[in-house]
């Protein structure tokens, strides 16, 4: 989590600051309040828990309120590892204006607080949190019920674990909101994903132990980064903590203000690459006792978090007593991405309003809410007003309800031999801890780096036939034999786009959450197979139609400390299938609403009816052209199209080209080249003076039956502004007269990438939003031939890049795409065949793969000639 002010730390410390600091992004997006609501801040020194040698510890704290003489419910805010109370002050001021008394403090071992860092040890950091509740109970600004204060506790990452520990230790706490944190530090830092028995929840795995695999990269960032930054005071100067301890770490240059036992535990594991007894004792001791928590708990967890994954939220939900009110929200972000969860502020305040203010009118918080990232055809969309799709449920699988149902996906792939290289190098690169967008880009572009030849066994499904929301952990049973007594595998599930017909490689590769699940097998008899059920990482991901799931079992991963001794493993599936959770009870937020008066709906229907009648009349008046059976396998053939206008201007002059199955064909030319006019004739919107168009061997004219297999976006989208985006798509499809199940509306909405904005009226859309909705409309029914006129108009660079993947996937599934553009680079990067047009004629038609060397020069020269050409007369068509 980014801190509010930078310190003089090293790059590692800066990365750490981006990982785990504070609660500011969690709560900072509070609306501005009236200027007369002045916040009173009182600086306090709160006695903390003495160090083991008896040295006193004082904690630097601040109490904030807007009504010093009025008792209010209290909220204690805890910051992240490496931070101070300054990180929480902006949030605290906002909450104070919302009617709370807010207590922020700097954890022991950081800033101006005394003592050493014990890594969220309940006996130290936990008891310090109880001391903050004691302080709140003694303050007149804090509401009490009898002798007990009305108090909530919240924190993110390191502070989130403190919130859990405080609730386990102190029954006076009335509600907590931990975020981006852990339920079990052992399974977070030393995970083991071997399963005993069947799945009981969304991420049920055996407790981690000596057989786990050390998350070495994250451990190094946490310990060494904080050691270099942990002694920084609020102003970035070296701290002079009050009540500092004489129990100093044995290696201050490496461990800073970490306690000696914490330092020894980390250094010992770092030297050997394996978790020893000291480290396991430390992580178990620093894990909250969930079974003792009675306070209502809202657990917010990030979907981009290889430090504290979604499995930790699952452990909280299953570890709390059944009588404890609990909810969890899986949200975008996390320690690998943007940790800011401003969008969750309403949920958080609703939780505290309900349980601290006892406000029955506070919005209900669903027991389980999960945001499903957009991973389908059109990729990511970045409009500021776009809301992601959220699935909700009033129950959580495995907690007070039956275990989730499952679905089985068949996998293909026989026994495979893989190698663990000496020194575990080269190592697969699946994520770069804390690198945010850089890590995402590396994962997206670096599939070969994550699946190294000879080091990964892969098992792949057939293309899915309907969109599937993968929420939770998949299971796969494998048989493993090793040349040594040990085997370590890193399991992951990938989303592969369709194969490119030329390269035979996936057009896209996505590793959901950039997460892997390590499995260490010990005590093996060399050469003798062992059967194990592997729990894949807990993820939230949508698998689009036509994409495949691939289970990867790799021998190395650079984020983990695997064995350095060379070995070979033989890996095969016990059953050729992947078992996935199937949460049919989840409901999507939003819905299809026709938010318009009935007369307007009737009017729209009449307009559509008139249009259909007109098409029938035009079809009857069209001259007869016979089918050409020899062209039945060719999606589009254009021969000799000519179109002149009344003023004598010839917009299209003998245009001919073909588009083969699986191709993305680009019509390239400047404005006025005749591209749009040609496309309008291809779909029968205007009649050519001469020439013909055949789609799959059938002639095209207005109202031709074959046009039902053609989707088009020409001259920009046109929508009814008072209808929502969804209602526009529904009305368009209804006009076709085809069954709704043939529309593939889910895919179209994923293409639009508009989130909940799809249920808003189109009149409020930006140009980019309208363009994406138009592309989705063109793709309704997944037509075999898709025509897009300047589809990237209004899109920003990330959306344009995503559009390229959309078109590649669409064509790779055996369909055909024709795209017009005036941008040379865009056609080169998007299309595999280019038709260069100028002044209504075709100058060049070739595969882009052949346009290298002389071919590339000819293309550039042709395009430059177009740009240098005399401007066309007024009224020239594009």
How many beta carbons lie within 10 A of that of residue 419, not counting itself? Answer: 17
Contact call for residues 515 and 309 (beta carbons, < 8 A):
yes
Average pLDDT over residues 68-76: 94
Contact call for residues 440 and 509 (beta carbons, < 8 A):
no
Residue predicted with more confidence, 599 or 105:
105
Same fold, 11-190+197-365 and 406-587: no
Which range (22-31, 715-724, 765-774) has the least confidence?
22-31
Which range (94-98, 527-531, 559-563) has the least confidence?
94-98
Contact call for residues 133 and 173 (beta carbons, < 8 A):
yes
Task: Name the token pair of 25.
Answer: 């992004």
CATH architecture for segment(s) 406-587: Sandwich (2.60)
- Sorted by sequence, the CB contacts under 8 Å of residue 736 that are 6+ apart come out as 708, 781
Under DSSP, is residue 501 helix (H, G, I), strand (E, B) or coil? coil
Identify whether 426 is preceded by a cis peptide bond (ω within 30 of 0): yes
pLDDT at 239: 39
What is the per-residue DSSP string for 91-148?
HHHHHHHTT-EEEEEPPTTSTT--S-B-SS-IIIIIHHHHHHHHHHHH-TTB-EETTE
Is residue 321 predicted with pLDDT exceeding 80?
A: yes
Phi, psi of 82 (to 5 degrees): 90, 0
Fold of 598-868: Rossmann fold (3.40.50)
Give the highest mean pLDDT range of 11-15, 60-64, 91-95, 740-744.
Answer: 60-64
Phi, psi of 713 (to 5 degrees): -130, 105
Contact call for residues 524 and 509 (beta carbons, < 8 A):
no
CA distances 536 to 187, 346, 476, 479, Å, are 14, 32, 8, 15
- Sorted by sequence, the CB contacts under 8 Å of residue 632 that are 6+ apart come out as 696, 697
Give burial (CB, 10 Å; 0-12/13-18/19+) of 497: buried
Rounded CA separation 625/619 (Å): 12
pLDDT digits (tens, 9 = 90+) for 722-779: 788 888 888 888 878 888 888 888 887 877 677 777 888 888 787 778 888 898 899 9
pLDDT digits (tens, 9 = 90+) for 620-658: 444 446 788 889 899 999 999 999 987 778 999 999 999
Contact call for residues 541 and 375 (beta carbons, < 8 A):
yes
DSSP character for 682? H
- Three-state SS across 347-405? HHHHHHHHHCCCCCCCCCCCCEEEEECCCCCCCCCCCCCCECEEEEECCECCECCCCCC
How many beta carbons lie within 10 A of that of residue 434, not counting itself? Answer: 26
Share of the chain above pLDDT 70, in %: 78
Q: How far apart are the two ends of the chain, measured CA to CA in Å? A: 50
How many beta carbons lie within 10 A of that of residue 529, not counting itself? Answer: 16
- Sorted by sequence, the CB contacts under 8 Å of residue 600 that are 6+ apart come out as 722
Question: Which residue in the block uniquely carries the two structure tokens 């028995």?
Answer: 197
pLDDT digits (tens, 9 = 90+) for 228-248: 443 433 333 333 444 444 444
Task: Name the token pair of 572.
Answer: 């095969």
Is residue 203 predicted with pLDDT exceeding 70?
A: no
CA distances 74 to 4, 140, 390, Å, are 23, 11, 31
Residue predicted with more confidence, 751 or 215:
215
Q: Which helix (H) or strand (E) holds 74?
A: strand 74-78
pLDDT digits (tens, 9 = 90+) for 114-129: 999 999 999 999 999 9
User: If we measure between CA atoms, which residue out of 175, 134, 171 comes closest to residue 151?
Assistant: 175
User: If we measure between CA atoms, which residue out of 475, 734, 748 comes closest to residue 601?
Assistant: 734
Contact call for residues 122 and 163 (beta carbons, < 8 A):
no
Phi, psi of 534 (to 5 degrees): -100, 130
pLDDT at 374: 58
| CATH 3.90.1150.10 applies to domain 11-190+197-365 | no
Rounded CA separation 462/636 (Å): 28
Residue predicted with more confidence, 45 or 335:
45
Which range (176-180, 536-540, 795-799) has the least confidence?
795-799
798 falls in which pLDDT band (50, 70, 90)?
confident
pLDDT at 823: 82
Under DSSP, is residue 267 helix (H, G, I), strand (E, B) or coil? helix
Exposure of 488 in the CB half-sphere (CA atoms within 13 A): 24
Task: Name the token pair of 255.
Answer: 């461990």
Contact call for residues 418 and 555 (beta carbons, < 8 A):
yes
606 falls in which pLDDT band (50, 70, 90)?
very low
Rounded CA separation 456/459 (Å): 10
> Angle at CA 367, nearest 5°, toward 585 and 2?
120
Rounded CA separation 537/551 (Å): 11
pLDDT digits (tens, 9 = 90+) for 546-601: 899 999 999 999 999 999 999 999 999 999 999 998 876 677 654 333 333 434 43
Which range (29-38, 347-356, 370-379, 704-713) has the least confidence?
29-38
The alpha carbon of residue 358 and the mean position of all alpha carbons in its chain are separated, in whole angstroms, by 34
Rounded CA separation 168/677 (Å): 71
CA distances 345 to 23, 384, 389, 589, Å, are 12, 17, 17, 17
Given the DSSP bridges, would you call strands 530-535 and 194-195 parallel, antiparallel or unpaired? antiparallel
Beta bridge partner(s), residue 479: 531, 572
Is residue 466 predicted with pLDDT exceeding 60?
A: yes
Task: Name the token pair of 575.
Answer: 């059953």
Rounded CA separation 220/559 (Å): 10
Given the DSSP bridges, would you call strands 567-573 and 698-699 parallel, antiparallel or unpaired? unpaired
Q: Which helix (H) or strand (E) holds 345?
A: helix 345-355
CA distances 382 to 55, 495, 831, Å, are 53, 22, 24
Sign of CA dihedral 475, 480, 485, 486: negative
Which range (40-44, 439-443, 745-749) has the least confidence?
439-443
Q: Strands (DSSP E) along 452-583, which ranges?
A: 456-460, 468-472, 475-482, 487-496, 509-510, 517-521, 530-535, 539-543, 548-554, 567-573, 577-581
Residue predicted with more confidence, 617 or 73:
73
Contact call for residues 462 and 499 (beta carbons, < 8 A):
no
| 287-323 exposure pattern, b = at least 16 Cβ within 10 A, e = fewer | bbebeebebbbbbbbbbbbbbbbbbbbbbbbbbbeee
- Three-state SS across 548-583? EEEEEEECCCCCCCCCCCCEEEEEEECCCEEEEECC
Rounded CA separation 420/480 (Å): 13
DSSP character for 844? E
Give burial (CB, 10 Å; 0-12/13-18/19+) of 620: exposed
How many beta carbons lie within 10 A of that of residue 195, not counting itself? Answer: 21
What integer best gives the mean pLDDT of the chain?
80
The alpha carbon of residue 428 and the mean position of all alpha carbons in its chain are separated, in whole angstroms, by 21
pLDDT at 405: 83
Sign of CA dihedral 319, 182, 372, 539: negative
Given the DSSP bridges, would you call strands 636-644 and 368-372 parallel, antiparallel or unpaired? unpaired
For the chain, the structural domain boundaries read: 11-190+197-365, 406-587, 598-868
């Amino acid at each position: 989590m980014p801190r509010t002010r930078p310190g003089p730390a090293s790059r590692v410390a800066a990365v750490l600051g981006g990982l785990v600091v504070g609660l500011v992004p969690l709560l900072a997006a509070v609306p501005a309040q009236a200027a007369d609501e002045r916040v009173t801040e009182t600086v306090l020194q709160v006695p903390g828990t003495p160090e083991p040698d008896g040295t006193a510890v004082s904690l630097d704290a601040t109490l904030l309120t807007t009504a010093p003489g009025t008792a209010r419910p209290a909220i204690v805010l805890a910051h992240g590892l490496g931070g101070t109370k300054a990180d929480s002050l902006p949030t605290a001021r906002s909450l104070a204006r919302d009617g709370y008394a807010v207590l922020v403090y700097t954890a022991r071992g950081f800033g101006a607080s005394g003592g050493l860092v014990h890594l969220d040890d309940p006996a130290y950091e936990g008891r310090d949190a109880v001391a903050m509740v004691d302080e709140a109970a003694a303050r007149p600004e804090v509401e009490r019920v009898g002798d007990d204060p009305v108090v909530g506790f919240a924190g993110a990452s390191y502070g989130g674990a403190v919130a859990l520990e405080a609730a386990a230790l102190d029954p006076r706490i009335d509600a907590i909101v931990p975020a981006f944190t852990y339920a079990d530090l052992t399974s977070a830092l030393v995970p083991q994903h071997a399963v005993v028995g069947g799945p009981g929840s969304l991420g049920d795995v055996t407790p981690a132990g000596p057989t786990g695999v050390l998350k070495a990269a994250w451990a190094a960032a946490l310990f060494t980064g904080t050691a270099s930054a942990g002694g920084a005071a609020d102003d970035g100067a070296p701290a002079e903590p009050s009540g500092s301890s004489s129990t100093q770490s044995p290696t201050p240059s490496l461990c800073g203000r970490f306690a000696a036992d914490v330092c020894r535990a980390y250094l010992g594991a770092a030297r050997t690459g394996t978790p020893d007894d000291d480290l396991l004792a430390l992580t178990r001791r620093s894990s909250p006792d969930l079974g003792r928590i009675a306070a209502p708990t809202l657990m917010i967890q990030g979907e981009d978090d290889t430090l504290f994954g979604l499995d930790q939220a699952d452990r909280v939900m299953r570890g709390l007593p059944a009588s404890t009110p609990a909810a969890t929200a899986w949200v975008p972000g996390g320690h690998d991405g943007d940790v800011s969860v401003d969008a969750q502020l309403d949920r958080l305040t609703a939780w505290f309003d309900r349980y601290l203010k006892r406000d029955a009118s506070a919005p209900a918080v669903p027991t389980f809410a999960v945001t499903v990232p957009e991973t389908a055809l059109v990729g990511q969309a970045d409009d500021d007003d776009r809301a992601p799709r959220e699935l909700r449920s009033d129950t959580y699988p495995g907690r007070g309800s039956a275990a989730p149902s499952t679905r089985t996906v068949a996998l293909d792939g026989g026994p495979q031999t893989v190698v663990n290289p000496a020194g575990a190098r080269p190592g697969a690169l699946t994520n770069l801890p804390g690198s945010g967008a850089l890590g995402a880009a590396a994962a997206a572009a670096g599939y070969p780096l994550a699946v190294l030849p000879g080091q990964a066994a892969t098992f792949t499904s057939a293309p899915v036939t309907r969109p599937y929301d993968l929420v939770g952990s998949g299971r796969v049973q494998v048989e493993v034999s090793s040349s040594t007594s040990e085997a370590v595998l890193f399991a992951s599930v990938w989303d592969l786009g369709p194969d490119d017909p030329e390269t035979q490689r996936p057009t896209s590769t996505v590793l959901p959450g950039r997460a892997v699940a390590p499995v260490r097998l010990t005590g093996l008899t060399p050469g003798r197979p062992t059967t194990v059920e592997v729990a894949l990482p807990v993820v939230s991901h949508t698998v689009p139609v036509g994409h495949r799931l691939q289970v990867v079992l790799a021998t190395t991963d650079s984020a983990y400390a695997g064995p350095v001794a060379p070995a070979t493993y033989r890996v095969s599936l016990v059953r050729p299938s992947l078992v996935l959770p199937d949460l049919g009870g989840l409901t999507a937020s939003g819905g299809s609403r026709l938010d318009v008066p009935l007369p307007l709906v009737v009017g729209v229907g009449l307009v559509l009816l008139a249009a259909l009648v007109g098409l029938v009349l035009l079809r009857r008046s069209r001259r007869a052209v016979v089918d050409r059976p020899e062209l039945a396998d060719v999606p589009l053939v254009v021969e000799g199209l000519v179109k002149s206008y009344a003023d004598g201007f010839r917009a299209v002059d003998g245009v001919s080209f073909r588009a083969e199955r699986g191709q993305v064909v680009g019509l390239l030319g400047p404005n006025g080249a005749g591209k749009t006019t040609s496309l309008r004739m291809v779909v029968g919107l205007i009649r050519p003076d001469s020439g013909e168009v055949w789609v799959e061997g059938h002639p095209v004219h207005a109202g031709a039956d074959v046009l039902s297999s053609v989707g088009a976006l020409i001259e920009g989208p046109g929508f009814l502004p008072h209808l929502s985006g969804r209602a526009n798509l529904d009305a368009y499809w209804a006009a076709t007269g085809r069954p709704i199940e043939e529309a593939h509306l889910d895919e179209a909405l994923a293409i639009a990438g508009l989130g909940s904005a799809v249920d808003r009226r189109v009149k409020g859309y930006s140009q980019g939003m309208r363009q994406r909705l138009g592309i989705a409309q063109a793709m309704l029914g997944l037509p075999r031939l898709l025509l897009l006129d300047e589809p990237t108009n209004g899109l920003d660079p990330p959306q344009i890049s995503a559009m390229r993947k959309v078109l590649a996937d669409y064509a790779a599934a055996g369909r055909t795409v024709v795209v017009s553009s005036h941008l040379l680079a865009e056609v080169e990067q998007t299309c595999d065949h280019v038709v260069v047009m100028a002044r209504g004629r075709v100058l060049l038609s070739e595969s882009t793969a052949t346009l290298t060397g002389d071919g590339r020069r000819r293309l550039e020269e042709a395009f430059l000639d177009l740009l240098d050409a005399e401007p066309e007369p007024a009224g020239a068509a594009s």
